A = this chain, B = another copy of it.
Amino acid sequence: MTRVTLEGLLNPSSVAILGATDDIRRVGARVMRYMNEGGFEGPVYPINPKRDVVQGKQAYPSISDIPGTADLVIMAIPATAVAQALHDSAAKGAKAAVVFSSGFAEMGEDGAAMQADLQAAAREAGVRLLGPNCLGCASVANGAMATFTSNFLDGLPTLGSVAVVSQSGAFGAHLYSLARARGIGLSYWVTTGNEVDISIAECIDYLVDRPEVSTLVVYAEGINDPEGLRNALAKARDAHKPVIMLKVGRTEAGAEAAKSHTASLAVSDAVCDALFKQYGVYRADTTDEMMDVAYACQMGVFPTNRNLAILSVSGGVGVQMADCGTKHGFDIPPLSEEKQQHIRELLPFAAVRNPVDVTAMAIDNPEHYLTPVFDAVLNDPETSSVGVFFTPGQGSEEFTDLMLAGLERMRAELPHKAASINIIMPDAMKARYEAAGYTVFDTSERAIASLAALATVSEGFRRGEGDAPPALPASAEAVPAEATSEVAAKQVLASVGIPVVREVLAESADAAAAAAAEIGGPVVLKIASPDIQHKTEIGGVMVGVEGVDDVRAGYETLIARAAGKAPTARIEGVVVCEMVSGGVETVIGVNMDPTFGPVVMFGLGGIFVEVLKDVTFRLAPFGIDEAHRMIREIKSFHVLTGARGGPKADLDALAETLVRVSVFAAANADRLESLDINPYLALPEGGVALDALIVPKGT
């Protein structure tokens, strides 16, 4: 089905309300009231066969009776009446419908069947459908309030640039009330419910294009349109419109069954996290964080580095802000010697380095002491964020005038610099800072956290720039149709350009001895069988075997052990393998996510993966910059840079391997079940896959 724009839903010119009525306890009355009060300029047609007038407007017995067309038809009617209504609406030119009714897929099998019928009816009618089982939507600038949520009883939305998209009606309504209580204006508010037609993804896609939207707040319980979501998120990122998401089910992570050994850690929540990272989505851990970050983002100022300047009227709060800044990934560089000297001359007992503690002297005489210090701290080109702590004594008109003068000078000179003020002050004063583009919080931690969030969002905007995944090399083999041996798996990897260990499959003791001589030095001998995955468990590996006689003997020993311990396994021979030492053992895996397809996992081997679960994930494919971020993201990263005097790993080679794995996995998404390179030895120069397992789909 070709996608039709959501214009009819979110920017309609005319609206009909099926089930409009007067009794405000009822759904059809509330939506009618909100439509009447929302400032919508086009015609609104109440449809009610039992009344001539509803809430002061002429009513019509059916949608077919309205004099004009209705872009949007709001259906406050029983579930069973919806299909016919869609048909009738289409005849009146309807482009979209909102279906509030519950009783569909959320109500068991019968409901699911009804939902399938509804989907078919909407498609047949050519009407875009929001819902069912949703609370509808509100387009604030347009004035169309296509919702019956009781949360609007406290007041309709005030216009702002934040758009809220929520799958859940109840939580969407909760977000609405929180935004209202915190003075955050909205441009759009959409709940998608059962998503029989319109998904979260399509809403994001539409809203990113709207000039009145600066910031998107999104709540998803499941992802119904993964490809659409990826595209919409990429579009938002490229448009520099922050997307702030909350995704539930974080701790159910472990429930997903393991598919293969290392990839067993790849679970849906980790995949979501990967998606968000790759597309620069800000993942909020809590509703409060979501609201704070949205509040900050709507100011439209995104710092370009992670340097923080702190100005406080209390030394202790300055240290608190420094602690908090460090925790949130800020550097807190000292002010220049010149600036420090300048402040010291004005305020002999001030802390001048950073944090700057201005002492009571500055506050008692702000014109003479505080203003120049404030200017010096604000106009430091090295720092992209400024956190400020004042006490309520600094909440006066005169003081605000002084401070805003400084903040406005800063905005002119350093347009990308964000500042957040921690002060408890009257709303009117707070509004003045906000109007000038500065956030105000009542605790220093939220002020600093919001600045850090802006820096994270800013970094997210730059994700993906010039970082396209490379093409699969022409030499690349495909995932084989059948399970293969370790040797064959490594040959496939080698064809993709992934370095693998030198090895030979020997089918006789003589061949093994010859191979060992060819490789030179001590070798590793491993039993080769597509049926034996855990070789060490049957004593199928011998390390450091050297010399013709020992290699021959080793060959015979392994064959004998396999015959004894795994009598039904097909034995292909013994792999004679170069001994590689040094380097850091890493694990690279690919797992198939049922929603997003191939997901690449990376971590260090041994306890790091098995005990500490210190792994990270990305959706395939990805580019070299993303691979580097992935490597740097694990907690044990410093092991790769030579912690404990150990070897330093070649991070470029490691990143290149991750990229190649991702490209290979994406190209083989329909053939691959899982892939494990365990270990991939990250060497001081280059690296090498020592063991590999490729599991084709359906094997």
Which residues of A are in contact with B by a Cβ distance under 8 Å?
A: 102, 106-108, 150-151, 153-154, 167-171, 173-174, 177-178, 181, 219, 221, 246, 248-252, 285-288, 313-317, 319-320, 322-324, 326-327, 349, 360, 389, 391-393, 424, 442-446, 607, 610-612, 635-636, 638-639, 643-644
Contact = CB atoms under 8 A, between A and B. Distances in A.
A316 B644 contact: no
Q: Lowest 5 CB-CB distances: which A-B pairs, in order? A: A170-B314, A150-B393, A251-B326, A286-B445, A168-B316
23 contacts: A107-B349, A108-B349, A150-B391, A150-B393, A151-B391, A169-B314, A170-B313, A170-B391, A171-B320, A173-B391, A174-B391, A174-B424, A181-B424, A181-B442, A221-B315, A221-B316, A250-B323, A286-B443, A287-B444, A610-B643, A610-B644, A611-B638, A611-B644
A631 to B, nearest CB: 16
A150 B249 contact: no
Contact of A323 (B174, B251, B319): B251
A620 to B, nearest CB: 27
A134 to B, nearest CB: 12
Contacts of A153: 392
A447 B322 CA distance: 28
Contacts of A443: 178, 286-288
A401 to B, nearest CB: 18
A206 B484 CA distance: 75
Given A249-B319, A286-B443, 12 more contacts: A150-B393, A168-B315, A168-B316, A171-B316, A174-B391, A181-B424, A221-B315, A246-B320, A251-B327, A288-B443, A610-B643, A612-B636
Identical copies of this chain, number:
2
Q: What is the predominant secondary structure among interface residues of chain A facing chain B?
A: helix
A339 to B, nearest CB: 21
Nearest to A606: B644
Contacts of A286: 324, 443, 445-446
A167 B316 contact: yes
A167 to B, nearest CB: 7
A316 B391 contact: no
B392 A177 contact: yes
Contacts of A315: 168, 221
A536 B323 CA distance: 39
A317 B611 contact: no
A170 B248 contact: no
B442 A178 contact: yes
A610 B248 CA distance: 35
Contacts of A171: 314, 316-317, 320
A106 B359 CA distance: 10
Contacts of A248: 316, 319-320, 323
Nearest to A287: B443
A112 to B, nearest CB: 13
Given A150-B392, A221-B319, A313-B170, A424 B611 contact: no
Contacts of A446: 286, 288
B316 A170 contact: yes
Nearest to A173: B391
Contact of A349 (B106, B392, B638): B106
Contact of A170 (B317, B319, B607): B317
Most chain B CB neighbours (cut-off 10 Å) among A249, A252, A443:
A443
Nearest to A360: B102
Contacts of A445: 285-288
A317 B251 CA distance: 14
Contacts of A635: 612
A580 to B, nearest CB: 22
Contacts of A249: 319, 323
A108 B636 CA distance: 44
A639 B606 CA distance: 12
A159 to B, nearest CB: 21
A169 B317 CA distance: 11
